[in-house]
Amino acid sequence: MNQGSTIFSQLIAHASRDALDRCIRRYQGNYRVRTFSCRDQFLVMAFAQLTYRESLRDIEACLSALPDRLYHMGIRGKVSRSTLADANEQRSWRIYADFAQGLIAEARRLYAGEPLDLDLKRTVYALDSTIIELCITLFPWAQFQGHVAGVRLHTLLDLRGSIPAFARITPGSFRDSHLLDTLVPEPGSIYVFDRGYVDFKRLYRLNQARATFVTRAKKRQKFRRLYSHPVDRSTGLICDQTVVPAIASSAKKYPEKLRRIRFKDLESGRGYVFITNDFRLPALTVAKLYKARWRIELFFKWIKQHLRIKMFYGRSPNAVSTQIWIAISVYLIVAIVRKRLGIERDLYTLLQILSLSLFEKIPLEQALNSPNYNFDDHPSRNQLQLFNF
């Protein structure tokens, strides 16, 4: 039995300490810091994520109750509300954003062999964004539509393993299609996104980079049909056509041919119109690719339910970004541990176990793996009966 390291320390050990230190030095995070370092800040915020702390007061009360355990968790500085609040306000969120990028690379390497449920060897990404709502009274800087406040989390999700390959936090008013300007396309990869990202100039940039995109056509978008290809209507396919934009301005932005596929879901009866620049994929595979995009919606729903990104410990843009990036880092660390230790349980179950056992000093694998219970159907002869009918 492990007598020295807490489960929290063993978990954090799966994230490179040198990588975090490099990020801290890159942005001079510990400049003029005496006691509460950036690493202490990360560990305390990670603890808050894993144990579902509600506020700075909640964090301080929990950690102050066990002062002798802080050293074994790796926390060297004194934890107080004011110190943690100042750290979240003043220390650059880019430290933890860069650290998360390193974790993303490691997680994607570990999950590269995960099945895709499609007969494809190419990398498939789902691109989307979600609004993280904020109280307009407490976060007036985040107002973007009437009395609505929030920030937008853009994510490029690798569908093999549901690991984010790219993430960015923008103001709530940021248009989805503009994110394609910052995206570096990978030749041969497939990008699946909703029609909010449809912009012919940006789509042509993806095409020029030899990347495949699959999206939905906007309702009033007009195309001119050039050719029609045979389809099996029993599968829900209605037509498979080669088209070009019918409007001159759109045709100028995208001067090449596109593929339009009409599909009707046999279960719901709902119709879809897909647009892609790939003419070799089977038409039904294109429809299935778009259906797989739903995984990113599930990812957003999951992190909102199980990570602390609804209630924030600070009110500034820096504090909000810091908390979101550390939450993403915690998600990635748990995903990395799950793969490295070969644990079959889902991430939700692992987070529930960790929330109750961070201070235990047992091997991490033993804590996270499901025990093998042996149930005895025959009661002991010494056991008294509560009811005797």
Give domain limits for the chain: 7-94+315-368, 208-281
Comparing CA positions, the residue from 377, 347, 360, 375 lying closest to residue 10 is: 360
Q: Using alpha carbons, list the distances in angstroms from residue 252 to 63, 204, 244, 259.
A: 61, 10, 10, 17
> 212-216 and 271-276: which strand pairing?
antiparallel
Distance CA 43, CA 12 (A): 8
pLDDT of residue 172 exceeding 50, the answer is yes
- Alpha helix positions (H), 230-370: 248-253, 283-292, 294-306, 317-340, 347-357, 364-368
Residue 147: CB atoms within 10 A of its CB come to 7
pLDDT of residue 7 exceeding 80, the answer is yes
Distance CA 23, CA 84 (A): 19
Distance CA 79, CA 359 (A): 17
Which residues have CB under 8 Å from 310's CB, separation 6+?
A: 132, 133, 304
Distance CA 96, CA 87 (A): 13
Which residues have CB under 8 Å from 176's CB, separation 6+?
A: 128, 129, 154, 193, 194, 196, 197
Residue 176: CB atoms within 10 A of its CB come to 19
What is the dihedral sign for C-alpha 282, 288, 293, 299?
Answer: negative
Distance CA 10, CA 330 (A): 13
Q: Take residue 85 and report the two structure tokens written for it.
A: 């609040």
Q: Take residue 39 and report the two structure tokens written for it.
A: 């690493």
Average pLDDT over residues 56-84: 87
Phi, psi of 68 (to 5 degrees): -75, -15
Q: How would residue 160 be classed by pLDDT, with cut points 50, 70 and 90?
A: confident
Average pLDDT over residues 248-264: 96
Which residues have CB under 8 Å from 326's CB, separation 6+?
A: 42, 45, 46, 49, 96
pLDDT of residue 119 exceeding 90, the answer is no
- Alpha helix positions (H), the chain: 7-12, 17-26, 38-51, 56-64, 67-73, 81-90, 94-110, 200-208, 248-253, 283-292, 294-306, 317-340, 347-357, 364-368
Phi, psi of 300 (to 5 degrees): -60, -40
CATH 2.20.25 describes domain 208-281: yes
Of the listed ranges 92-96, 111-115, 167-171, the least confidently predicted one is 111-115
pLDDT at residue 219 in the model: 87
Q: How would residue 3 be classed by pLDDT, with cut points 50, 70 and 90?
A: low
pLDDT at residue 324 in the model: 96
pLDDT at residue 66 in the model: 81
Each as own residue / partner, the long-range contacts of residues 23-31 (CB below 8 Å, 24 or more positions apart, any chain) are 23/94, 23/95, 23/96, 23/98, 23/99, 23/102, 24/95, 26/95, 26/98, 27/91, 27/92, 27/94, 27/95, 27/98, 29/91, 29/92, 29/95
Q: How would residue 255 be classed by pLDDT, with cut points 50, 70 and 90?
A: very high
Average pLDDT over residues 150-167: 93
Average pLDDT over residues 133-152: 92
pLDDT at residue 236 in the model: 93
Show the CA angle centred on residue 179, arms to residues 219 and 140, nearest 5°.
100
User: How would you write 140-155 as a 3-class SS string?
Assistant: HHHEEECCEEEEEEEE
Q: Take residue 241 and report the two structure tokens written for it.
A: 């056509």
55-65: buried (b, 16+ CB within 10 Å) or exposed (e) per residue?
ebeebbeebee
Tell me, yes or no, if the pTM score tops 0.75: yes
Average pLDDT over residues 139-160: 93
The amino acid at residue 146 is G
Question: Alpha-carbon Rg of the chain, whole angstroms?
Answer: 25
pLDDT of residue 4 exceeding 90, the answer is no
